[in-house]
Amino acid sequence: MADPHPALLMFIGARYVEQRVSEAVLAAGYDDLTPAMARAAARLRDDGIRVTEIAEQARITKQSASVLVDLLERASYVERVPDPADARARLVVLAPRGREVQKVARRVERAIEREWTRHLGAERMAAFKAALTDLREITDPYR
Amino acid sequence: MADPHPALLMFIGARYVEQRVSEAVLAAGYDDLTPAMARAAARLRDDGIRVTEIAEQARITKQSASVLVDLLERASYVERVPDPADARARLVVLAPRGREVQKVARRVERAIEREWTRHLGAERMAAFKAALTDLREITDPYR
DNA sequence: CCTCAATAGTCAGTCTTACTGACCAAATCC
DNA sequence: GGATTTGGTCAGTAAGACTGACTATTGAGG
């Protein structure tokens, strides 16, 4: 490829991080997490999230999201609790085991960010992150 | 998310481009291209490529790549020609119909690059692309 | 209040797109 | 010139996505 589109380079970088994280999580002994489960789990917030919200953000149907949450729940990574604000809905929250995995993932993510900063230098890295953040404004329909 | 990891932002951008391109291709009347077929087709080069190479670059097994090439061939997007340099191998090359789709895709990609340049400014865009290219050195095992 | 459209979620069934394992034929190594 | 590597296919299976139909709750209008 003579001059690859920025999007391809972005994809390559994102895929690299996903692989590094999933390897580390596997190495830490969590071998029952599939990539799809992990991607769904990555959407979790501390205050809980609805299945429908996971689906929107991950761009999958609510049925698919529901299956993934089932799997995560069965493996004790998350719990479903009733949403106090809406009796139709249930909130997906991290269970203790999920919080442990999250810690492992966060640690790898920070390590990669340091590696990238070392490679580009602090200044270029900051500019890079700022550009990504600005581009999100025109590429991310979910804020 | 308070401070999303750069990789998430990269993923969001890459996904946006893939969606824009696939929408345009669909709108141009090519409705028999699945996302997986398109991703495989995106690896094609003018001088032809081997199925095994597609597999390596797309990080899928050669069997999966072979199936996708079959589908692309059946839909007249590509052809398989014997590799003059190796009688075991066959080169996957774009067929006329494939070249038409490629034109549509390239057009959208250029349009998006212009939009991004408008949003960031030419200077920041250039720096952004340079940073992506540099990061590729440490994130892309296939050079 | 009371209907009724919208929303949160599930169930059932299907298709796409991966995977593993076994295998063949040509090329390359020693 | 036999053994190993490489390019690719065939067969079978599983993960993960989709559509469509359905239930229960919410919230808005009359």
User: Which residue does chain B place closest to A9, by CA atoms?
Assistant: B132
C-alpha of A100 from chain center: 15
Q: Which nucleotide is nearest to A38 (CA to C1')?
A: D16
Q: Is the pLDDT of residue B74 over 60?
A: yes
* Strand D contact at CB of residue A84, distance < 7 A: no
In a domain, A91, yes or no: yes
* Strand C contact at CB of residue B67, distance < 7 A: yes
In a domain, A7, yes or no: no
Range of the domain at B79: 6-139
In a domain, A114, yes or no: yes
Long-range contacts at B96-99 (CB < 8 A, ≥ 24 apart): B98/B41, B98/B44, B98/B72
**What is the rounded average pLDDT of the residues B64-84?**
95
The tokens describing B64, both together, are 């999966």
Q: Is the pLDDT of residue B138 over 60?
A: yes
* Strand D contact at CB of residue B139, distance < 7 A: no
In a domain, A6, yes or no: no
Distance from CA of B8 to the nearest CA of A (A): 7
Quick: pLDDT tens for B96-120: 999 999 999 999 999 999 999 999 9
CATH of the domain at A70: 1.10.10.10
Higher local confidence (pLDDT), B46 or B121:
B121
- Predicted local distance difference test score (pLDDT) of residue B2: 65
User: Where on strand C do bases come within 7 A of a protein Cβ?
Assistant: 7-13, 16-22, 25-28
In a domain, B115, yes or no: yes
- Model confidence band, residue B141 (pLDDT cutoffs 50, 70, 90): confident
Q: Which of B1, B3, B8, B9 to mutate to test the interface with A (most CBs of A within 10 A)?
A: B9
Bridge-based pairing state of the strands B90-94 and B49-50: antiparallel
- Predicted local distance difference test score (pLDDT) of residue B3: 81
- Model confidence band, residue B132 (pLDDT cutoffs 50, 70, 90): very high
* Closest by Cβ to B135, choosing from A13, A137, A140: A13
- Predicted local distance difference test score (pLDDT) of residue A2: 64
* Total structural domains within chain B: 1
The tokens describing B115, both together, are 């939009």
**What is the rounded average pLDDT of the residues B64-74?**
95
Query: DSSP state, A50?
Result: E
A87 touches chain B (CB under 8 A): no
In a domain, A90, yes or no: yes
Q: Is the pLDDT of residue B143 over 80?
A: no
Per run of 10 residues, the mean pLDDT along chain A (length 143 residues) is 85 93 93 93 93 94 96 95 93 96 96 98 98 94 70
Residues of B in contact with A137 (CB under 8 A): 119
User: Where on strand D do bases come within 7 A of a protein Cβ?
Assistant: 6-12, 15-21, 24-27
* Strand C contact at CB of residue A90, distance < 7 A: yes
- Predicted local distance difference test score (pLDDT) of residue B44: 93
CA distance linking residue B137 with residue A23, whole number of Å: 20
Q: Is the pLDDT of residue B12 over 70?
A: yes
**What is the rounded average pLDDT of the residues B17-45?**
92
- Predicted local distance difference test score (pLDDT) of residue B93: 96
In a domain, B1, yes or no: no
Distance from CA of B102 to the nearest CA of A (A): 14
- Predicted local distance difference test score (pLDDT) of residue B137: 93
In a domain, A22, yes or no: no
Q: Which of B107, B132, B136 to mutate to test the interface with A (most CBs of A within 10 A)?
A: B132
